[in-house]
Every structure is written in C-alpha cells, then in structure tokens.
Chain A
Amino acid sequence: MDYFTRLGLPVEYDLNQALLEKKYLELQKKFHPDQHLDNKLEAIKATMEINAAYKILKSDFKRAEYILSLHDVNLEKVKTNHEFLIEAMEDRQRLESPQDLNSLLHEINDQIDASIIKFKQFIAQKDTANAAQEVIRLRYKNKFLEEIEFKLNS
C-alpha cells in the first residue's frame, strides 16, 4: 500500500496539511501499540508504517521524492544537468558573504516554490525525466536552506 493510501489521502502532490494531521492522529489512536497491550507486535508494525508515511508526506520535498518513486523512477540513476551544477556552485559562493544571507534565504525559498510548481506540471504531463531534475533541485535547495539557517543562527 502506498503512503497516501495508508493515511487515507488522495495520491497527489497537493496536500491538505490539516487533513494529514487529522488522519494521522485517527490512525495513531487506532493502531498505537499503547492502545493494544494484548496484540503489540501487529500494532507496532502498523504504527511504524504510519509514522514513516506521515514523516515523508509531511515534508514538501520528501513528498515530491516519494511521488517520483511511485512513477518507478530510480533517483539514484538520474544524471544531474550541468546548468544546475553551476547554479549550486554559485549558491555556495554566496554563503560566504554573511551580509547577503537574509536575502539569499528569501531567494532560495522562492526558488523552491517555483520548483514545486514545475514539478507538479511535469508530473501532470508524465514527464518523469524533468520531474526528477526538479526533485534533485529540491533536495539540494532544502539542504542548502538548512545551511543558511544554521549560519544565521550561529
């Protein structure tokens, strides 16, 4: 069973966060091992699955990764395109100039939003090759965002 179905949600990128939380808690109440003291092993198995599904679907970029895997794309085999590599290197250089960090943070957030829109379009067109490029981009930009935040906080 895929993670969306596991949580009783439609298999699509757009996600009603409130519905996710609601479904998640409903299932936890039903399956959490603490609620099934006599049949623990089954309950633990189910809860582990629900927790994994929740964790993946809740994150905007992990959800994209997951949708891609449902389209039988092995991300490990996808070659990254050259323009993106250059962009990533330029991003990193900007990390070195601290006065720029706040605007960089906003820019990267905007880029992530734009990338998600593109990802959805590619998926709708069943263009998995381009969708995969967007996921790689999202993965990198999210990691980069963490680095900026870390720098801003330290």
Chain B
Amino acid sequence: MLFDIQEPGHNKHSSQESVAIGIDLGTTNSLVAYSINQQPKIIADKSGNNILPSIISYFSNGSKVVGIKEKEAVVLSSIKRFMGKGIDDFDRSSLLAGYVKTNQDSLVFDLGFKKVTPIEASAEIFKLLKQRAEQHLQKPITQAVVTVPAYFDDNARAATKYGAHLAGLHVLRLINEPTAAALAYGLDKKAEGMYVIYDLGGGTFDVSVLNMQKGVFQVLATGGDVNLGGDDIDYLLVDLFKQKLVKNPQLTIQDLNFLHSYARKIKESFSNNSEVDINFNIADEFINFKLTDKKFESLILPIIERTLVVVRNVVRDGKIKINQVKGVVLVGGSTRLKLIKTKLDEFFQTNCLVDINPDEVVALGAAIQAESLTKGSDNLLIDVTPLSLGLEIMGGLNEKIIDRNTPIPISIIKEFTTYQDGQTAMWFHIVQGERDLAKDCRSLARFELFNIPAMKAGMARVVVNFTIDADGMLTVSAEEMITGTKQIIDIKPSYGLSADQIENMLIDAMNNADLDVTQRLLIESKINALFVINMLDKAIKEDHELLSNAEFKNIKSQTKLLQQYIDQSDRNQIERHLQLLEDLIKNFSDRKMNKYIKLALQGKNIKEIEN
C-alpha cells in the first residue's frame, strides 16, 4: 500500500532545552534511555551496566538499595505484577507471597518493620533511573515517557503513572511496550510493512500487529496476558527443585530467592548448552539437578503454546493474513529461548528479527517518543486500546461502548434515560474486558448520577461520555441534558476517586499505609454493597414475578441487615452480609439473566428492556 502523506504543519515545540527520558519499568529489569536526533541511547550506571534489576532491598533501619539483593535486607522483586491490583487478583505463588499482607485484604507488602505499596516500591526504581539520567546528562530531568504492557488495564496504568509521579517525574505519555519496540525498530532498521511484535517480558506477555509506512506506525491490533511471562518458566523449575527435597523442609523466603536465582541461571544457560548438571545445598539438603534441553522444552511447551494462541487471535483481530507479515520482532529477555524462535518461524514462515537487543529495544523506543513529544517529530504513532470498555446493563450483561483495538484517543457518547416515573438517580458500573457478563470483566468504577429532575420514565436525557486518552486511560462523565442544569461527574476509575483524592491518598499512604488502605477498602465495600442493593431494588420492581414470597421476605430482611452495617461502617460485616445477600439472590439473578438473554437474542436492546 502506498501512502500519499502531506507534510505535517507546525511541529516544533518551544522547550528545546529540556530533555525527556524514556523508561522501561520491567518486571525483572528496568532501563532508562534518552534520544537526540532520533538516535536513542541506553544510559548505563557507573560500572557500565545498562540493566537495573527491578529489585529493592529494604533494611530495618529505614535505608534501601535499589537493584541489588542485599543479604541482611528484605528484598522485593517482580512488583510490576502487583501494580494496580487488589488482593483478589493475587492468586499465584511467588517470591513475594510471604510479604503480601492478607489480613487487610489488600495489596501492601508487609516487610515486618515497614509497609510498602506496589506504587511506592515502583517509585524507588523510577527515582534511581531518574538519578542515573541526571548524572549522565548533567541536568535535572522532570519528564519521561514510560512504557507499560499493552494489555495493562486502566488501574495498572494509573498505578504506574503515580509511581513515576512520586519519584518526581511528569509522565508525558504512557506507551505500550510492543509499540515502543516497533518505533525503535522501524526507525533504526527502516522496517516497512506489516510486522508482528512478540514481547515476552518477565511477568507480562504482549503481541501487537503494526503497519509501518513512511514514518507512520499504526497498531492494527494488540492482545496479551498480564499473568504470563518468563518468570513462569522459573516457577516451573523451582517446582522441580522442590520435588528433589526429600525431607520436605519449610523453605524461608531467602531459600526461595536462592532457588529462583538458580532457576533463572538454568533457563538462560539453555541458550548455549544442551544439558545442565548442577549441585547445590538448600535448607540443609544436598541437591543434584540434571536436565536436558529436550526435557526443558517439553516442560515449557505449554507456556509457549499459550502465547501462540494469543498470537493467532491478534493476527485475526488485525484482519491480516499470515503471509502478509514481513517480520516478527522479538522483545524481552525471555525470547532468547530457542523454542520460541522455532515455533514462531514455523507459524509465520518468516524469520524472527533480533537485530536490536531484546532487553533494550523497549527503552530505546520510549526515548524516541520522549524526544518526539518534547522536540516534535515527523513520525506518527497510532495506538489502540487493548480491552473493550463497557457498561453493565440489565441482567448483568456487559454492553460494549468502545471495542478493543479502537484507535486512541477516542471519545464515544451514549444516551440513557430513566426507567421509572419520578426517578432521580441512575447507577453506572463501568467494566473493562471482552466477556459477555460484567462480573467476568475487570470492574473499573461504579458511580451514581444524582439530582435528575423527577419526570416521566423515558423523558430524562442522560448523556454519558466515555473517553480514552492517548495514554490509554479512561475518563467517564455523565450529564443530565433536559433541564439545562448540567450536572457533570468526572470519574477516574479507582474506586470512584478523583485525581486529587488519589494524590492525597498517596501522600497519606506514605505516612500511614495501614489506615489509608483500611479506609479505601471501607469506601469500596460500601459502594459495592450500595450498588447491589440498588440494582436489586430495581430488579425486584421489574421482575417480582420471578420471586416466591419466601424468597422475597428473606431478601428483604437480609438487605435491611446489610444496610445497617453500611450505616455503621463495619467493613467485615458489610462484606459478610453482602455475600449472604448475593447467595440469596443467585437463583433470582439466574432466572432474570435467562429472561434478558432471551430478549437480547431477539435483537432487543437495553432501552426496550428497561422501558
């Protein structure tokens, strides 16, 4: 395809002097780079290391060291897996398992002498990279482009941004890791045509299909898995080690750390060796460990197969044919595994490209974009949103408002109306994901629009605006149009808190992590419970015939009890009684679902159903 591109217009920025850096905050390793005249460079530390291990050692006296596992310290690693997540998302055994605080139901690392949130931990890494750049460039640095996995959801993106913010960096743009890699590749290697970026990081996996033409980098489709990465191979090896232990001893976190280091070394050694044979002592036991590359490959095959399923889906979403793909760019240290190359060569019938160091290519791309956003450039990056954005509608269905792979920034407007005479409030539940049921998607925010003037059902006009900005982050606002008294609610999806509130929360968190989390959780529980009560109320009014008298009575008394605990701000009781209520209404919900799915299949839409 040939493109007739017009010369871009005015394109230079006034702040010629400032340098913005590109940061790749990785699960295993982080890097910082800068770019001058589209020539990006990694900034190394004083000893010449380009890579900073994403590790923080905390000492009980309050000091900390980034990038090194200190013996006497508590070591946090792989924190990227925890960015923007709640305790419910945390279901894997990992090194940090011992530190994740569970009695609070929230994600705080409890180091014994100190509590640290994932955001604060990431800020330590950002700080060090910022310092590294300042020393190298001999000037203060305040702006950065930060990369995130393409498949990161809104919460994880927000968490990353706040981490950089706490380190004193203004984030010019969050860009998707595979897109950054494509940018570096396209400019350096003058790649043109359809390319697939296969990015297997330490803890995340992304695939993007791009069309690269004359300085335009257009992402056609993207997909991935935020719970799949090179670390998973380490976990498999650690499991094998554990099977070797005959006395079944209780392993300390230090022991596990040690086993993981070995696992990583063994994994890496298969790039050059066909067999591994090592001896080591752990927990007073002697272990001899042997593994051939054949055995190793059969061990990791399921993980590679999982990535190939994602590849297939993304190629299909991009609506391109396999033979149109000119090259596959490998990103992430884990792509050094021979099996990955073999499988991808087989799949695409084309060679994998590894001309740029797969550990560095993302940071280099981020640096190029940082330069473009401060100095201007003729290159254009068009990215897409990886996950569909939807609204919960009747019957718990997810009505998609913005489909995945829609180019960003984008804004879509939908109109809603009241379903009852005199109704003065409306509830909204915003979710991110592809599944048909809202409960199977990531819940981003619930909010209520109050003060709708009382009028006949169907008369109110509520316009809801869904916006995804260039960082891939979402804002939703709702406005009542009829009366002229405009009411606008802007929400940032983090438990319905505004940017200012989050800011304050973060500052509080620095001072008192525990209390802050308790309060946030209480707010969240209350909102969840009120939401369910409200939905239920509405549902019963509409479909009371689906309930028996006994069921109705039980539900009523349980609702009353729950409301009491909401008023008393007793979070444990709220959670417990919300669960009881949800159990009570399960059958009712199922019956209701069946009814509405039938209607939906008949091509009816929400408005007809609600009215």
Chain A residues at the B interface, C-beta cutoff of 8 Å: 18, 21-22, 25-26, 28-30, 32-38, 44, 47-49, 51-52, 54-55, 76, 80, 84-85, 88-89, 92, 136, 139-140, 149, 153
Contact = CB atoms under 8 A, between A and B. Distances in A.
A48 B406 contact: no
A55 B316 CA distance: 17
Interface residues of B, number: 44
A38 B14 contact: yes
A84 B407 contact: no
Nearest to B605: A76
| 5 nearest A-B pairs in the assembled complex, by CB-CB distance | A37-B13, A48-B411, A51-B407, A80-B603, A51-B410
Contact of B410 (A48, A88, A136): A48
Interface in B399-436: 403, 406-412
Contacts of A55: 403, 406-407, 410
Nearest to A88: B601
18 contacts: A22-B4, A25-B3, A25-B216, A29-B216, A29-B380, A35-B380, A37-B11, A38-B14, A47-B409, A48-B411, A51-B406, A51-B408, A52-B411, A55-B406, A80-B602, A85-B602, A85-B603, A88-B602
B373 A34 contact: yes
Interface centre among A21, A28, A33, A35 (most CB of B within 10 A): A35
Interface string B578-611: 0000000000000000000000011111011000
Which of A22, A92, A149 has the most C-beta atoms of chain B within 10 angstroms of its own C-beta? Answer: A22
B320 to A, nearest CB: 13
Contact of B603 (A37, A47, A54, A88): A88
A98 to B, nearest CB: 19
A100 B608 CA distance: 34
Given A18-B1, A28-B216, A52-B410, 12 more contacts: A25-B216, A26-B5, A29-B380, A30-B6, A33-B470, A35-B380, A44-B470, A48-B410, A48-B467, A51-B408, A55-B407, A80-B603
Nearest to B602: A85
B38 interface: no
B13 A25 contact: no
A149 B313 CA distance: 10
B322 to A, nearest CB: 15
A37 B409 contact: no
Interface of B: 1, 3-6, 8-11, 13-14, 213, 216, 218, 309, 312-313, 316, 372-374, 376-377, 380-382, 403, 406-412, 467, 469-470, 601-605, 607-608
A149 B604 CA distance: 23
B211 to A, nearest CB: 9
Interface centre among B4, B14, B409, B608 (most CB of A within 10 A): B409
Contacts of B603: 80, 84-85, 88, 136, 139-140
Nearest to A54: B407
Nearest to A44: B409
Contacts of A49: 411
A37 B8 contact: no
A37 B469 CA distance: 15
Contacts of A85: 602-603
A32 B218 CA distance: 12
A92 B603 CA distance: 13
Contact of A76 (B216, B316, B377, B608): B608
A28 B411 contact: no
B601 A92 contact: yes
Contact of A153 (B216, B312, B469): B312
A46 B409 CA distance: 10
A34 B381 contact: yes
Contacts of B309: 153
A126 B99 CA distance: 68
Nearest to B468: A48
B212 to A, nearest CB: 12
A29 B3 CA distance: 11
B408 to A, nearest CB: 7
Nearest to B377: A34
A13 B425 CA distance: 40
A26 B4 contact: yes
Contacts of B213: 25
A26 B603 CA distance: 38
A80 B14 CA distance: 58
B409 A21 contact: no
B580 to A, nearest CB: 35
* From A26, A32, A34, A47, residue with most partner B Cβ within 10 Å: A34
Nearest to A59: B403
Contacts of B411: 48-49, 52
A37 B607 contact: no
Given A25-B218, A34-B373, A88-B603, A153 B8 contact: no
Contacts of B14: 38
B6 A37 contact: no
Contacts of B607: 76
Contacts of B410: 48, 51-52, 55
A11 B1 CA distance: 24
A28 to B, nearest CB: 6
Contacts of A51: 406-410
A30 B4 contact: no
Nearest to B601: A88
B600 to A, nearest CB: 10
Contact of A29 (B5, B10, B409): B5
A21 to B, nearest CB: 7
A108 to B, nearest CB: 15
B1 to A, nearest CB: 7
A34 B602 contact: no
A28 B373 contact: no
B462 to A, nearest CB: 15
Given A51-B406, A85-B603, A21 B1 contact: yes
A153 B310 CA distance: 11
Nearest to B405: A55
A30 B8 contact: yes
Contacts of B601: 88-89, 92
Contacts of B216: 25, 28-29
Nearest to B13: A37
B409 A38 contact: no
A29 B407 contact: no
B93 to A, nearest CB: 27
A14 to B, nearest CB: 19
Contacts of B373: 34, 37
Contacts of A140: 603
Nearest to B413: A52
